[in-house]
Structure 1
Amino acid sequence: MIDFDPFATIIEGHLDHVSYFNEETHYTIAKIKTSGVENPVTVVGFMAAVRPGESLRISGTWETHPKYGQQLKINNYEVTLPGTVEGIKKYLESGIIKGIGPSMAGRLVGHFGEMTLEVIEKNPERLFEVPGIGKSKAASIESAWKNHHSVRNLMQFLSEMGVKTSYCGRILKAYGDNAVDILRENPYLAAKDIPGTGFYIADAIARKLGFMQDNPERVSACILHILEQRANDGHVYLYGSRLIEKCRDIFNIGYDEAIDGAYNLSETGEIVIEKKSDHFEEDALYLKELHDAEAGLAQRLLAYLSIPTAPFKIAQDDITGKVQKKLAIKLSREQLDVLEGVLSHRIAVITGGPGTGKTTLIRSLAAIFDFEGKKVELAAPTGRAARRLTEVTGRKAQTIHRLLGYNAMDGYFDRNRDNPIEAEAVIIDEASMVDTLLMYNLVAAVPVNSVLILVGDIFQLPSVGPGNVLSDMIDSGKIPVFYLNKIFRQAEESPIIVNAHRVKDGEFPVFEKPDGSVKITEFCFIEQNKSDRIPPVIVELCRKTIPDTFGFDPVEDIQVLTPMHKGIAGTLNLNQVLQKALNPNPSIVEAMGSRFKEGDKVMHLKNNYQKEVFNGDIGTVVEINGKKKQLYINYYGRVVGYDFEELDEVSPAYAISVHKSQGSEYPVVIIPLVTEHYMLLQRNVLYTAITRGSKMVILIGSKRAFEIALKNDKPRERLSGLKKKLETYSRL
């Protein structure tokens, strides 16, 4: 029962019709028919899970709209179940309870009369008394009734707490019918149990319920949230001084409370505090999972080095000769030296830029293991990178998650130290994309008497997830590293590859000069100093210039890559303008802050193992079902369904961040460069973006922004302890 404000206006009546309803926020404009009043009353505010015909009791304040006149602004409301036979019949006929239509409603009310709703709620076993209702039907009616009231109660509770009711589905999935009671008792449980948005839900509810800012549950939740956010930014740990600052500035938590909260979490085993000195401010604070992964990774990497490699059955010169003949290739002296070096270790890193022959070496290594009768597995961090690896090698490649046998039911990998991968050699491509947690799980599952070869471009951006694994391994000086520097003749003829290496070295690219007839070339720069002119130029390039001149598909072949999400040349704005220009389809849904149309190019934003869709996978919206509130996306021939409330896992992908493009290759890449993106105008960002294009790269923006990116060769700092642990553990 809701406590209504005694000074507010209270009206009772039934919902006549809904004039406006926002699916995401549940903001409603409706007409309420009250007894004794001829014209319905207009009410405005947040109402969830109500249907025309339902009886409502609403508390609110009168206000006068300049256009629509007097209306009642809703403060609180509650649904009152009908008590008359006719009212109950109309209520059930509305379809509000799944499985009960007009015919079934008539039979139920005809049998139970005014007791119908009480029977459904308290004595559902009596439903068998109604002709045509068997055990299965009775159970489905009982379940639908409970679900309806659970949803309604939770939505009403969330509305009162000022929390978006679009989170209802996730909360019910976590807590079921007891969701409201659980959240009232300890809202901060949601911070742990509901990934992504749980903390914001928890803190909003707690504030409304009167939790003090220094409540220990709140302090713990805030600290864990801060560490999780830092992990999302790529950091493995956070210094105590920064934790104190963030607790103070963001959450109004005092110095002593922050330190006490951190030590409490350390005692419960949720975080690890690595002592660096006698001062908390200098200590490194880790989420326990990340600390265990980083320490375990360092130990396991060093374990590979402690076991000598097995001798080859065939002389190395003979085997490389056979490989070159089998693959119809000619290896350079540099490549032969790298092969010899790699094959003399249990673990090794191969790094080089585009056109230096990394793929050729992967093919050669796999063929050598074939000749030796050893099973070899090829894998990459993402589905896109694995598919590309399959295409260029002609061999089966898979994601690292699939190689490790990720079990979506319990959230663990089937392959581990006790159940290792059954292969004598494992080769990982795009290794710079692998974060600390995934690399730890990989090395735990690859036996130390096998061979693990990591191939990647060290000059590209680091992983999206926490850590700087490949760089730390190389910089530690403890892991064997082999460099490919020579650009091959065919690659030397590609302006994309040549200019990518120039950018890597901090040199200004050499642009082809357009001839009079074709304004766009394979690698070109369109100078545009006015940022607001960049989106329309990109639209024209995608919609007309490139397709008409070169025959590329505007959606399938062209990818816009930008450093940031915000701003006029960020992903958010560019996706809006490109969606409008490239997809005229009227079938549309607005959910979780984004607008989706059938035919849209979209990207999945985080690993979802239940759906078997991974961070960075790109697909096409093939169906929007408003009745079921579901959207369907085709990923590489496999259709995956999403409830509307899950659509924060998906984003339009006409324009994506450079970080999200890693491991992918596109025929045409368009890269906007504006000074507003100053924080992310970095050489390795620009280099990564350029190396995503296979046939055409178009840069558009100001020369000033270009120069800033070229000069800025200091990547954003990532707090990672792997390098130090490799150095320390190697001395033990």
Structure 2
Amino acid sequence: HGPAGRNSFAALLEASDSGEPGVATVTGLLSGAEGPGRDAEGALALDLLVVLDAPQLDVEAAALLTESLPDGARLVLAGDPGVLWSAGPGRVFADLLAARVCPQVASRRPDPGPLGELVSGIGAGELIAVEAPGKEVVIVPVRDAGEAVHRTVQLVADSVPRAIGVPAEETQVITPGHGGAVGTRALNAALKERLNPGPGRFGGFDPGDRIAHSPAPGRTVTGRVVRADAEGLHLSCAGEAVVVPKERVERTVRHGWALTAHQAVGCRWPAVVVVLPGDAAGLLSRPWVYTAFGRADRHLSVVHGVEQALPRAVAEVPAKPRTTRLPVLLAPQVPAADG
């Protein structure tokens, strides 16, 4: 669903020496910018399409994909049903699983180590205390918003690089929302001041700033500012050069040291700092916690200010319901009885 995921999966295939894999983003495949292109009849020129992170497909993207497949092609949807759903409408992956209208293969193998144990427990509705002798999981209690911001900056800039060996540029902060005293705006301002201070002459940005670029609603691509000139703001996003015109910078580019869990879906980082300020208690749910905690590969720090709201959310707060016509369309049609 994004260039970072595409690049990481392509690297896995190359490491397994499986030839020349065809890996594209969903958007690039549908637009023709990536992938095999379309055949003479306008269908995608492929025999098999495997969609990773399939819970991120909303109904519109799923419909476009299926309508673009040629006759006889196979479609495989793969993903973790426990993560946050798509930014757009519907819950295509969950509806297909519930309808059981196609073959299903379930993998129960969790990620290894304390992080895998913790995230697996959350997926089952239980927040368990895990043993983490290598500091794979660290809980940092805080009393108020100011302390939460201070400890977050301290973790990213000093504690995680020194104790875990993960540099600040490979550590991602995740928080429930954009606003508030410990939202992404406040955290990004504090992290920029510490990690890349500057005058912000181009719409508040300087070369070296970490950013989150949203080229379309519901799509977020992370990267860095390279420079700014008359063309616009030049970004590097997963190795791709992107130019955002000056008039679109304010609407589509934010600082990206801190993201929301919805923005972080589909990506992983060596270290993640999840910030749970006291005013976030009402925003937490099991899918949110599962998604945020599951973004960490090697280390997870939790800046914890919600007390018992965290285990309650994991145990008792499921995903908010979504309603579309898809379950009705997928339901088996029962023939009417005669006479």
- TM-score w.r.t. length of structure 2: 0.88
- CA distance in 2 between partners of 1:397 and 1:588 (Å): 37
Distance 1:407 1:428, change over 3 A: closer
Structure 2 unaligned spans of 5+: 15-20
Cα contact 2:38–2:45 (8 A) shared by 1 = no
Aligned to 1:567: 180
Q: Deviations over 1:111-147 (max 9, x none)?
A: xxxxxxxxxxxxxxxxxxxxxxxxxxxxxxxxxxxxx
Aligned to 1:482: 105
Aligned to 1:387: 7
Aligned to 1:399: 25
Q: Deviations over 1:293-340 (max 9, x none)?
A: xxxxxxxxxxxxxxxxxxxxxxxxxxxxxxxxxxxxxxxxxxxxxxxx
Aligned to 1:550: 164
Aligned to 1:639: 241
Aligned to 1:272: none
Aligned to 2:191: 578
2:272 pairs with one of 669, 692, 710: 669
Matches within 5 A, 1:231-380: none
1:597 paired with 2:206, answer yes
Matches within 5 A, 1:415-564: 415=38, 418-487=41-110, 491-492=111-112, 494-512=113-131, 521-555=135-169, 557-564=170-177
- CA distance in 2 between partners of 1:513 and 1:633 (Å): 37
How big is the shift at 1:558? 0.3
Cα contact 2:138–2:301 (8 A) shared by 1 = yes
- CA distance in 2 between partners of 1:720 and 1:709 (Å): 25
Q: Deviations over 1:350-389 (max 9, x none)?
A: xxxxxxxxxxxxxxxxxxxxxxxxxxxxxxx222221122
- CA distance in 1 between partners of 2:62 and 2:334 (Å): 19
**SS of residue in 2 equivalent to 1:617:** strand
How big is the shift at 1:706? 1.7
**SS of residue in 1 equivalent to 2:98:** helix
Matches within 5 A, 1:60-209: none
**SS of residue in 2 equivalent to 1:484:** coil
Distance 1:433 1:383, change over 3 A: same
Amino acid at match of 1:549: A
Cα RMSD after superposing both structures: 2.6
Aligned to 2:18: none
How big is the shift at 1:729? 6.1
Amino acid at match of 1:719: T
1:699 pairs with one of 262, 283, 302: 302
Higher relative contact order (CA 8 A, sep 6+): 2
How big is the shift at 1:587? 4.9
Pair member with larger Rg: 1
Amino acid at match of 2:167: D
Cα contact 1:681–1:712 (8 A) shared by 2 = no
Amino acid at match of 1:705: A
**SS of residue in 2 equivalent to 1:668:** strand
- CA distance in 1 between partners of 2:140 and 2:121 (Å): 18
1:682 pairs with one of 285, 303, 312: 285
Amino acid at match of 1:453: V
Q: Alignment length, in residue pairs?
A: 327
How big is the shift at 1:630? 2.4
- CA distance in 1 between partners of 2:13 and 2:325 (Å): 35
User: Going by fraction, where is helix more abundant, 1 or 2?
Assistant: 1
How big is the shift at 1:407? 7.0
How big is the shift at 1:417? 10
- CA distance in 2 between partners of 1:729 and 1:661 (Å): 39
- TM-score w.r.t. length of structure 1: 0.42
- CA distance in 2 between partners of 1:384 and 1:563 (Å): 22
- CA distance in 2 between partners of 1:624 and 1:402 (Å): 26
Cα contact 1:675–1:704 (8 A) shared by 2 = no
- CA distance in 2 between partners of 1:552 and 1:558 (Å): 7
**SS of residue in 2 equivalent to 1:597:** coil
How big is the shift at 1:604? 1.1
Aligned to 2:221: 617
- CA distance in 2 between partners of 1:536 and 1:416 (Å): 56
Aligned to 1:320: none
Cα contact 1:561–1:669 (8 A) shared by 2 = yes
Distance 1:480 1:596, change over 3 A: same
Q: Deviations over 1:537-589 (max 9, x none)?
A: 0001111111123332212x000011211222211111111111111234533
Aligned to 2:17: none
- CA distance in 2 between partners of 1:717 and 1:560 (Å): 27
Distance 1:674 1:545, change over 3 A: same
**SS of residue in 2 equivalent to 1:461:** coil
- CA distance in 2 between partners of 1:405 and 1:438 (Å): 12
* Percentage identity across paired residues of the two chains: 23
Cα contact 1:607–1:615 (8 A) shared by 2 = yes
Distance 1:496 1:398, change over 3 A: same
Amino acid at match of 2:319: P
Amino acid at match of 1:385: G
